[in-house]
Structure 1
Amino acid sequence: MSLLNRQPPSVTLNFSLPADFVAPQGGISETRVSVKRLNSAAPVTIKDWRHASLYDAGWKFDFPHPYSDVGVKYQVNVQMIHNRQPLLIELDYFVTVNKAPHRQTLHLSPIGQLYVEVQEPTTVPAEEAVTIRLHQLEQPQVELVRVNHDEQTATSFYLKYDPESVIPGKRYVLSAVENRYHQAVPVSPGSIELSPVAREQQAWSFQALMHWLEKPLRLFTDADAKIR
């Protein structure tokens, strides 16, 4: 085989969504995936992919891993947008690759369903179940949801919350405590914004604000000219 036709090893990501997630139909849709290498002083873009469709089931995504004998940490960001509205919570996923080919599953979080990773799977008696809270970062007493994970294993699952209760611009955080000894339990993700705004909408809002700010300045200048 010619060396010119040899493809570099790749990383395959399996993007998983909740079983009850259904992508909206019609309108303008787009799926974006950004992959960056973090080992250097500044992130290096490996792949920036866009596709004019949405997914409502598990789907696979590949990107090249042209490195050997070195571990590489990648940052992956996924977003699905329908009619300029994000459908996924804005989260960064991290993938460490020591050897390719490499396969890994990433659980995406639609608005209203946050994928929670509590701890490694272990047998947990009912009296030692874990209580998980989703609350405001600055005001822990303001909760969106509280659940008791009283199954045989307290591990990873989708935590449902009411998107209408989310305050735009506020950051939220997860906390978990085992019920018997009231010890904190590691839980992820960390601080998150549950009401993301599409980048295009952010840019439009900024431009609209600047345009609005210019108006009183022009009025003030015109008034000064008229006084003369």
Structure 2
Amino acid sequence: MNSLDNPTHYITLIFSLPDDFMPPTSGEAETYISVHTANTQSPIKVAQSRKPMLYSGRWNFSFAHSFSDVSVKYRVSVSMTHNGVPLLIDLDHFIIVHRTPHRQTLHLSPIGRLYIQAQEPQAVEPEHAVTIVAHEHDNATVQLTQVHISEEMAEAFYLEYDPDTVVPGKRYTLTATENEYRNAIEVSPGSVVLKPFSKA
């Protein structure tokens, strides 16, 4: 990779939260964003931002793309805390940039609402139902939540769960099945800690 001396090309990320997500307005607040390369021999810090505020809705974050001769995969992490308590599920988001300018929306997941993307293995009728289950990582019989939705809706949606029923720091696995033919459907994220430990 050749780094440009004066990078003039930028990547703009549009961070998106559910429309009804309203963060607290008082107390200590922090939003932290970090961006690292993900396809280099060792990760390179590209950008970071730490602000004493919380966001809702959608907002933009831009950083310079300083590589000229190759596609770059970036790992993006976003956290928001209120009085030291995490408000977002700790997830890494990956983007691949071939050229600039580049704009991409990343959907963030507040505690209690996990943004899921599902990819069906083959073309099926939109009205066919899909079952998506969140269960303990090491015990599929212990289910946290289960939802039945249409194939069309399963492409991307927020899976809601009760944070009070989740063990902090425990990893849960997401599985999806197309009901009519019992085909497994790839789900992202495949496993996740739904309630991080408090940093307070």
Common topology (TM > 0.5): yes
> What's the counterpart of residue 124 of structure 1?
125
Distance in 1 separating the partners of 2:153 and 2:47:
37
Q: Is the 8 A contact 1:134 1:145 kept in 2?
A: yes
Indicate the structure with greater strand content: 2
Matches within 5 A, 1:104-115: 104-115=104-115
Separation (CA, whole Å) in 1 of partners of 2:64 and 2:193: 30
Give 2:69's aligned amino acid: D
1:189, distance to aligned residue in structure 2 (A) = 0.4
1:24-79 CA-to-partner distances (Å, cap 9, x unmatched) read 11000010000001222111101121011000110000011011131001000000
- Residue 186 (1) aligns with residue 173 (2): no
Compute the displacement of 1:170 (Å). 1.3
SS at match of 2:184: coil
Gaps of 5+ in 1: 1-5, 202-228
The equivalent residue for 1:49 is 49
SS of equivalent to 1:164: helix
Gaps of at least 5 residues in structure 2 are 1-5
**Which amino acid in the other structure matches residue 124 of structure 1?**
E
What's the TM-score, normalizing by structure 1? 0.80
Counterpart residue identity of residue 54, structure 2: L
Tell which structure's C-alpha radius of gyration is larger.
1
When normalised by structure 2's length, the TM-score is 0.91
Counterpart for residue 160 of structure 1: 160
1:29 alignment partner in structure 2: 29
Partner amino acid for 1:109?
S
| Code of the aligned partner of 2:125 | V
- SS of 1:41's equivalent? coil
Whole-Å separation in 2 of the counterparts to 1:115 and 1:134:
12
Structure in which a larger fraction of residues adopt helix: 1
The answer (yes or no) to whether the contact 2:144–2:165 under 8 Å persists in 1 is yes
2:130–2:151: 8 Å Cα contact kept in structure 1? no
Shift of 1:83: 0.4
> Quick one: distance in 2 between partners of 1:22 and 1:80?
12
Q: SS of the counterpart of 1:25?
A: coil
The percentage of counterpart residues that share the same residue type is 49
Q: Distance in 2 between matches of 1:84 and 1:92?
A: 20
Q: What is the rounded CA distance, in whole Å, between the counterparts of 2:49 and 2:154 in structure 1? A: 35
Counterpart CA distance in 2 for 1:97 and 1:197 is 33
Equivalent residue, structure 1, for 2:139: 139
SS at 2:164's partner residue? helix
Task: Give the aligned CA root-mean-square deviation in angstroms.
Answer: 1.7
3-state secondary structure, aligned to 2:181: coil
Matches within 5 A, 1:51-70: 51-70=51-70
* Post-superposition offset of 1:7: 5.1
